[in-house]
Structure 1
Amino acid sequence: MTEISSYTTVSPAVSRFPAFLYGLLIAGVGLCVYLTGVLLGFFRLLLQADGQWLWMADRVVWYSGVPVVAGLVLILCDLFVLLPYKRGNRSVRWAPSRERSLTVVLTAFNDELSIGRAVEDFAAHPLVRRVVVVDNNSADRTTEVARAAGALVIREPVPGYGSCVYRALREGLRFTDTDLTLLCEGDMTFRAYDIDKFLAYLPHADLVNGTRISEQLREQRTQLSTFMYYGNFFAGKLLEVKHLGRGTFTDVGTTYKLCRNRPLERLLPHLNPGINLEFNAHLLDTALAQGLAVVECPITFHNRVGFSKGGNSSNWKALKVGSRMILGIVLGWRKRR
């Protein structure tokens, strides 16, 4: 059985046309126009303006129905006309990996306080062959602590989260004695015992993506605020409607992933390491566009050891990163710093 899934028997143009996504955007524009008309009517009453204001508000509200109806038509068309063709005749995939041992690659940036414990946690799992730490120009003792804990340390000189994750995936592919690469972070927000969950989902996928959107598996105090929690869920649903019929997605921001190496080799040339904190969403979107089978796995999420340097450090920063994720999913991915 091949490791790369074929999802559809119709033309690529039909299978890739995101009618649901475009419908949401068009209907959203119509809703904004409608609200503008309502505000015009409100200010007309407030200011006791002449009938010209009422005429303008009436026309704006009336014509706002055009994009709303057009968007709903596209959504219904995708759900009831195109979706069966996008799904095709695929059956439930079952392709167990011949090799269950894996290489763990951990990204790190100023993670001196956590990296030693993270390396020891993953190295203690019986299926882990080695732990590689990719240090992205840390100014503290991250490299020394990781080596002392038994990790192979690689320095990635190009700054940026995307560069670090991309280098980590490349390093995972270097080792021919394992067929699987587990990507994670070195901040202790994730745990090695979830490897067994990933492996349970692996026969159905080329890439298993961890999802933190499971309230029962989250510690009470984590760097994922309520705003970030539902923001990730929203971005995940945008990705889902863009690739309708290809999967269910609730979390586009987690680094914790298990990849089969052969599909990963196919994916890597299509990834842009210049994309920064929104790189994980870019990776998932690109994997789906390249025909990889992506399945979500619920994972535990723990309080970070040390301080967050990424998009979870504040709600304002998360809003900016989330906005770039949404723009990337909707309009395409460009290098952003």
Structure 2
Amino acid sequence: MERIAVLLPCYNEEQTIGKVIDDFKSELPHATIYVYDNNSSDRTSEVAESHGAVVRKEWRQGKGNVVRSMFREIEADIYVMADGDDTYPPEYVHDLIQPIRDKKANMTIGDRLSNGTYYDENKRQFHGFGNRLVKGLINRLYKSDITDIMTGYRAFDQLFVKSMPVMSSGFAIETEMSIHSLDKKFLIKEVPIDYRDRPEGSESKLNTFSDGIKVLRMIFTLFKEYKPFLFFSLWSLLSIVLGFAVGIPVITEFINTGFVSKVPSAILATGFMILGVLIFACGLILDVMTATYRKQYELELNHLYDRIRRNENEQG
């Protein structure tokens, strides 16, 4: 029988975690449900244990830290990740895991936006705008068409989980997983789901502005690391354009008079041009290094894939 692990990162979800566990047990009676308590100050752990979940602690604060420990410690064939706040309907879990079973996806995404329920249910201002902004940036950078980049309802196969280097510590983890899967060409499939807002009395841990800035910073960092040639080419182009803007009056003056009276402008323009060339050269070097890393990653992925297949054959 395939091993299914339901992963529930939690921080102060005493009010909802029991229902979430029971609902997932009803849908997946043979799955093991893991609740990772991220320093809750309420009775989240006690409630989760009383409902039959495997409860573990993650002392480093932040959802990214929880997901890192989950991926590292739990062994399964199929992983389902959701939140403990009862916003993701468990009845859609079968639609999420079926493409994983059929080997048609390494990661499935619970798309909250296509059905329109997210915008009807979510009462937090600017969250819809933030989702559209992040989605537009990533889809433009990677020429993709993912509808819901930041959803927390996902399913994974073992290959993805054991090869995912989790670098973020907080709520940028969903964005990081989306960018990583696009960059490393994992198979992705979106599954439209309904979304429901938190029940009354349950408070969101998200801060629209501070967490939004962290997500944008994560996109900026991963853009630099995954696409260094494009990243540094843009900065190089900016520097060269500034060099021309400052230097054209100097050149025009020299052509007309044979003299250069704007010496500081000439020095500044020269500095901008040199800086632009150096930035472009850095982009070229880093692009070669990134290509080498991708090749090494693919080889390591092949070794991991072979190990997973051997384990499946032994279990079969």
TM-score range, shorter chain: 0.5 to 0.7
1:327 CA drift (Å): 2.4
TM alignment of 1:1-337, pairs within 5 A: 102-126=4-28, 128-171=30-73, 173-175=74-76, 179-202=77-100, 203=102, 204-218=104-118, 220-223=120-123, 225=125, 227-244=126-143, 247-267=144-164, 270-272=165-167, 274-305=168-199, 306-311=202-207, 315-332=208-225
Name the amino acid aligned to 1:198: L
1:318 CA drift (Å): 5.0
Unaligned 5+ residue runs, structure 1?
1-98
Alpha carbons of 1:329 and 1:230: their partners in 2 closer, same or farther (altered >3 Å)? farther
Q: Higher relative contact order by CA 8 Å / sep ≥ 6: 1 or 2?
A: 1
**Structure 2 contact 171–211 (Cα < 8 Å) conserved:** no
**Structure 1 contact 180–258 (Cα < 8 Å) conserved:** yes
Unaligned 5+ residue runs, structure 2?
227-316
1:219 CA drift (Å): 7.3
1:200 CA drift (Å): 4.1
Name the % identity: 24
**Structure 1 contact 103–128 (Cα < 8 Å) conserved:** no
Cα separation, 2, equivalents of 1:192 and 1:327: 33
**Structure 2 contact 115–192 (Cα < 8 Å) conserved:** no
**Structure 1 contact 156–167 (Cα < 8 Å) conserved:** yes
Cα separation, 2, equivalents of 1:237 and 1:128: 39
Q: Rg larger in 1 or in 2?
A: 2
1:107 CA drift (Å): 0.5
Q: Secondary structure at the match of 1:308?
A: coil
Q: Per residue, is there more helix in 1 or in 2?
A: 2
Name the amino acid aligned to 2:129: Y
Cα separation, 1, equivalents of 2:155 and 2:127: 23
**Structure 2 contact 4–80 (Cα < 8 Å) conserved:** yes
Cα separation, 2, equivalents of 1:217 and 1:128: 30
Q: Secondary structure at the match of 1:291?
A: coil
1:278 CA drift (Å): 1.1
**TM-score normalised according to structure 1 size:** 0.60
Q: Secondary structure at the match of 1:185?
A: coil
Cα separation, 2, equivalents of 1:300 and 1:239: 23
**Structure 1 contact 103–182 (Cα < 8 Å) conserved:** yes
Alpha carbons of 1:190 and 1:121: their partners in 2 closer, same or farther (altered >3 Å)? same
Q: Secondary structure at the match of 1:208?
A: strand
- In structure 1, the residue matched to 2:313 is none
Task: State the superposition RMSD in angstroms.
Answer: 2.3
Write out per-residue CA displacement over residues 188-210 of structure 1, whole angstroms, 9 at most, x where no aligned residue. 01121011221344332111112
Cα separation, 1, equivalents of 2:132 and 2:99: 21
1:129 CA drift (Å): 1.4
Alpha carbons of 1:197 and 1:217: their partners in 2 closer, same or farther (altered >3 Å)? farther
Write out per-residue CA displacement over residues 204-240 of structure 1, whole angstroms, 9 at most, x where no aligned residue. 2111112221243337332554x32232123123222
**TM-score normalised according to structure 2 size:** 0.64
Alpha carbons of 1:187 and 1:128: their partners in 2 closer, same or farther (altered >3 Å)? farther
1:266 CA drift (Å): 2.0
1:127 CA drift (Å): 5.7
Name the amino acid aligned to 2:122: T
1:101 CA drift (Å): 5.5
Q: Secondary structure at the match of 1:249?
A: coil
